[in-house]
A and B are shown apart, each in its own frame.
Chain A
Amino acid sequence: MQQSSEYQARGYQTVVQAISWFTIVFLLFPVLLTVIVSFNASFFIEFPPKALSIDWYGNIEKIHRIGHATLISALIALASAAVATLFGICASLALVRTELPAKAAITAFLVSPITIPMVAIGIALVQFFILIGTAFTWYSLLIGHIVLVLAYPIRTLVASLTLSNISLEEAARSLGATRRQVFITITLPQMTPGLISGFIFAFLISFDNYPISIFLVRGGLTTMPIELFNYITQNLDPTPAAFSSLYIAIVSVIIFFAEKRWRIISYAIH
Chain B
Amino acid sequence: MLLTTASFSRSPLSFWRRYRSGILLLTPLLVFLLCFYVIPLTNLLAQSFSFSSGDTNQHDGWTFYQYLKTYESARLGRVLSRTFRISFITVLVTLVISYPLALLLLRASRRLRTALLILTFVSLASSLIVRNYGWVVVLADGGALNSTLIGLGLIDQPIRFMYSEGAIIVGLVHFAIPFMVLPIYGSLLRIPTSMREAALSLGSSEWACLCNITLPLSLPGVFGGTMLTFAVSMSAYVTPLMLGSPSTAMISQVAAEQLLVQLNFPWGAAIIVTLTVLTFLLVAAYASILRKVFRATV
How far is B252's CA from A116's CA once the two chains are assembled, in angstroms?
11
In the complex, the answer to whether B2 meets A33 with C-beta atoms within 8 Å is no
Please report which residues of chain A, range 221-259, place their CB below 8 angstroms from some CB of chain B when the two chains form the complex: 224-225, 228-229, 232, 238, 240-241, 243-244, 247-248, 251-252, 254-256, 259
**Closest residue on chain A to residue B269 by CB atoms:** A123
Instruction: Check B120–A27 contact: CB distance below 8 A.
Output: yes
Instruction: Verify B142–A248 contact, CB threshold 8 A.
Output: no
> Is the pair B231, A23 in contact by a Cβ cutoff of 8 Å?
no
A146 at the interface (CB under 8 A from B): yes
Query: How far is B253's CA from A118's CA once the two chains are assembled, in angstroms?
Result: 11
Q: For B140, what are the chain A residues with a Cβ–Cβ distance below 8 Å?
A: 45
Complex: A137 Cα to B144 Cα, angstroms: 42
Q: Is B98 within 8 A of A28, CB to CB?
A: no
Q: Which residue of A lies closest to B37 (CB)?
A: A147
A179 at the interface (CB under 8 A from B): yes
**CB <8 Å contact, B276 and A117:** yes
> Is the beta-carbon distance between A16 and B28 smaller than 8 angstroms?
no
Main SS of chain B's interface residues? helix
Q: Min CB distance, B107 to chain A, in Å?
A: 8
From B47, B116, B144, B276, A116 is in contact (CB under 8 Å) with: B276
Please indicate which of the listed interface residues B23, B237, B255 has the most CB atoms of chain A within 10 Å of its own CB: B237
195-222 of chain A: CB within 8 A of chain B? 200, 204, 207-208, 210-211, 215
Among A101, A146, A182, point to the contact of B1 (Cβ < 8 A). A182
Are B144 and A169 interface neighbours, CB within 8 A?
Answer: no
**A120 and B272 contact, Cβ closer than 8 Å, known pairs A34-B134, A211-B237, A241-B137:** yes
A254 to B126, CA, bound (A): 11
- Comparing B49-57, B58-66, B182-190, the segment that makes contact with chain A is B182-190
**Stretch in contact with the other chain, from B14-22, B70-78, B286-294:** B14-22
B159 touches A (CB below 8 Å): no
Q: A33-B134, A101-B19 given as contacts; is B122 within 8 A of A23 (CB)? A: no
**How distant is A42 from chain B, measured CB to nearest CB, in Å?**
9
- Report the number of A-B residue pairs with Cβ-Cβ less than 8 Å: 270
Q: How large is the interface on A (under 10, 10 to 19, 20 to 34, 35 or more residues)?
A: 35 or more
Kindly list chain A residues whose C-beta atoms are within 8 Å of the C-beta of B237: 117-119, 210-211
Q: Does B92 contact A (CB under 8 A)?
A: no
> Does A100 belong to the interface (CB within 8 Å)?
yes
Q: Is the CB of B206 within 8 A of A229?
A: no
Q: Is A81 an interface residue (CB 8 A)?
A: no
Residues A147 and B276 in contact, CB atoms below 8 Å apart: no
Chain A residues within an 8 Å CB radius of B28: 87, 90
Residue B26 at the A interface, CB < 8 A? Answer: yes
Contact A225 B129 (CB under 8 A): yes
Residues of chain A touching chain B, judged by Cβ–Cβ distance below 8 Å, are 9, 12-13, 15-17, 19-20, 22-24, 26-31, 33-34, 37, 44-48, 87, 90-91, 93-95, 97-101, 106, 109-110, 113-121, 123-125, 127-128, 131, 143-144, 146-147, 150, 166, 169-170, 173, 179, 182, 187, 200, 204, 207-208, 210-211, 215, 224-225, 228-229, 232, 238, 240-241, 243-244, 247-248, 251-252, 254-256, 259, 265, 268-270
